[in-house]
């Protein structure tokens, strides 16, 4: 409930505040979903991010001032505040530079504080519902831009990731997973035709050359199907709360399973690096016989293993330049995670617990132009580091534990929300929230830092997660 009492003299003021909240929500959503498009129009990334950060800060401050339960909203972010304190103090101790500490606080909180804003605003308000319409519009625009990219550029991870970004290719996969989290529960419980967008989401990841769709796509679809089945079994009987008995159509289940299975051969055939033909549009000739098709599967499996576990000397890193001269020579995604944990564990006890200091391996240009290879310069490894392991290096095992505790807290609250759902709409919103939460966790702990840091798509995820858990939204039965 708003802190402003509802009475006729306050009507105009309430409407003005609602418009202000909608205006800020619209800016946050529109900018975060179109960074790539705005950048292509000539606006520099630093200015785009400045507009986004300022809008996020204003929206959060306004929500904290206008709505009750601000104490609860802020308490849900306590683990992240503590991570910020640890990293910022470490940065100050190491660098004696206030700017470094401020930038670390921005790194942790600039987007994640939208969780508190979403919690306070909720989903039921007219501003939030209008923002959902804007979000849906941008979601539908992504496959359109993806089709245009395929026509003019082909399959590529380094340009036109929909309207989201021009270079952050990780968003090609993350958007597909977010889309799956939205499509599956709506398609199963409310609008079956929405499931037809599942192949579109898979194609979007493939067009953006995201090899991880091989595993992440089917896994996400099966997890969402499991959650929907669990919710169905939990609420299928009329219990006086749901407006009608829940049903799950077997054809919908079959179609979801079919999409999960077809994602694997589609990625292998279409993505050049996953098939032995290794050229644009993939090895379509491999379908000429069963043996050739099996050979492509074996090739994709071997490539995936090498991609995840390769070292500097692997043939995948062959180059005429030495490892310290070529930034493209990297170790595998899982190998760098293993090596990073070893580095943190073998560090002196103080660094093991509290890290080496915020921003110590962050390549941000705001601290200088020579920071592009800090991880290699300081620790001798190079590769794509997930946000959680970057936190491990900068804030230690204590900081990582706090990050894990925040995810545990939000996950537990979402599960409780699902158990207490009172109607189909509320249940669907909660399942979508669980899917977005899972995508965020996958990105943070296993994949990259794109949702937490890039400013693209992440703000929508944090806003929605907070809104689903909001006491402003009548999605659960009263106790």
Tens-binned pLDDT, residue by residue, of the chain (479 aa): 444 444 444 544 555 677 888 899 999 999 999 999 999 999 999 999 999 999 999 999 999 988 888 899 999 999 999 999 999 999 888 776 888 889 999 999 999 999 999 999 988 777 788 888 999 999 999 999 999 999 999 998 888 999 999 888 899 999 999 999 999 999 998 888 999 999 999 999 999 999 899 999 999 999 999 999 998 888 776 554 555 556 778 889 999 999 999 998 888 888 887 876 654 444 445 455 666 667 777 888 888 888 888 887 777 776 666 776 677 778 888 999 999 999 999 999 999 999 999 999 988 878 877 777 888 888 888 888 999 999 999 999 999 999 999 999 999 999 999 988 878 888 999 999 999 999 999 999 999 999 999 999 999 999 999 999 986 554 444 33
- Does residue 355 lie within any of the structural domains? no
381 with 375: CB under 8 angstroms? yes
Which residue matches tokens 């620790």? 379
The residue segments making up the domain with residue 59 are 8-310+386-468
Buried b (16+ CB within 10 A) or exposed e, 140-176: eebbebbeebbeeeebbbeebbbbbbbebbbbbbbbb
- Does residue 478 lie within any of the structural domains? no
Nearest-10 crossing angle of helices 387-419, 333-346: 100
- Report pLDDT for 341: 95
Strand partners, 476: 421
- Does residue 230 lie within any of the structural domains? yes
Strand partners, 165: 161
- Does residue 339 lie within any of the structural domains? no
- Does residue 241 lie within any of the structural domains? yes
Integer CA distances (angstroms), 235 to 113, 231, 248, 375, in order? 33, 6, 12, 50
- Does residue 317 lie within any of the structural domains? no
- Does residue 336 lie within any of the structural domains? no
pTM of the full structure: 0.90
- Rounded to whole angstroms, the Cα distance separating 179 from 439 reads 10
401 with 445: CB under 8 angstroms? no
Domain count, the chain: 1
- Report pLDDT for 39: 95
- Does residue 479 lie within any of the structural domains? no
- Report pLDDT for 10: 54
């Amino acid at each position: 409930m708003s802190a402003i009492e509802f009475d006729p003299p306050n009507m105009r003021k309430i409407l003005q505040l609602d418009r202000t909240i909608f205006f800020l929500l619209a800016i946050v959503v529109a900018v975060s979903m179109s960074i790539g498009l705005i950048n292509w129009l000539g606006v520099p990334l630093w200015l785009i991010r400045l507009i986004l950060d300022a809008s996020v800060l204003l929206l959060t401050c306004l929500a904290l001032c206008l709505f009750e339960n601000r104490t609860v909203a802020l308490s849900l972010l306590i683990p992240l505040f503590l991570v910020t304190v640890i990293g910022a103090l470490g940065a100050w101790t190491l660098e004696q530079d206030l700017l470094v500490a401020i930038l670390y606080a921005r790194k942790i909180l600039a987007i994640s504080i939208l969780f508190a804003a979403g919690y306070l605003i909720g989903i039921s308000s007219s501003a939030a519902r209008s923002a959902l319409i804007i979000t849906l519009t941008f979601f539908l625009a992504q496959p359109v831009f993806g089709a245009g990219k395929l026509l003019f550029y082909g399959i590529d991870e380094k340009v036109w990731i929909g309207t989201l970004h021009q270079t952050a290719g990780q968003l090609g996969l993350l958007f597909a997973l977010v889309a799956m989290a939205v499509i599956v529960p709506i398609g199963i419980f409310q609008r079956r035709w929405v499931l037809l967008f599942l192949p579109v989401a898979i194609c979007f990841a493939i067009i953006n050359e995201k090899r991880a769709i091989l595993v992440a796509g089917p896994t996400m679809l099966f997890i969402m199907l499991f959650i929907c089945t669990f919710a169905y079994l939990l609420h299928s009987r009329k219990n006086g709360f749901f407006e009608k008995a829940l049903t799950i159509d077997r054809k919908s289940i079959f179609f979801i399973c079919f999409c999960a299975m077809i994602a694997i051969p589609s990625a292998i055939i279409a993505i050049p690096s996953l098939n032995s033909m290794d050229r644009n549009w993939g090895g379509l000739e491999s379908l000429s016989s069963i043996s050739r098709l099996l050979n492509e599967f074996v090739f994709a499996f071997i490539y995936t293993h090498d991609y995840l576990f390769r070292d500097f000397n692997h043939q995948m890193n062959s180059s005429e330049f030495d490892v310290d001269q070529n930034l493209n020579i990297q170790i595998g995604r899982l190998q760098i995670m293993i090596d990073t944990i070893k580095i943190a564990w073998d560090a002196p006890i103080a660094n093991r617990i509290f890290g080496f200091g915020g921003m110590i391996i962050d390549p941000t240009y705001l601290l200088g132009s020579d920071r592009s290879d800090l991880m290699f310069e300081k620790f001798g490894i190079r590769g794509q580091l997930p946000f959680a392991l970057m936190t491990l290096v900068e804030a230690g095992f204590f900081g990582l534990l706090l990050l894990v505790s925040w995810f545990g807290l939000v996950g537990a609250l979402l599960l409780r929300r699902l158990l207490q759902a009172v109607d189909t709409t509320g249940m669907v919103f909660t399942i979508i929230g669980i899917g977005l939460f899972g995508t965020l966790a996958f990105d943070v702990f296993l994949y990259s830092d794109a949702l937490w840091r890039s400013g693209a798509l992440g703000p929508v995820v944090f806003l929605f997660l907070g809104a689903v858990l909001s006491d402003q939204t009548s999605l659960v039965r009263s106790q």
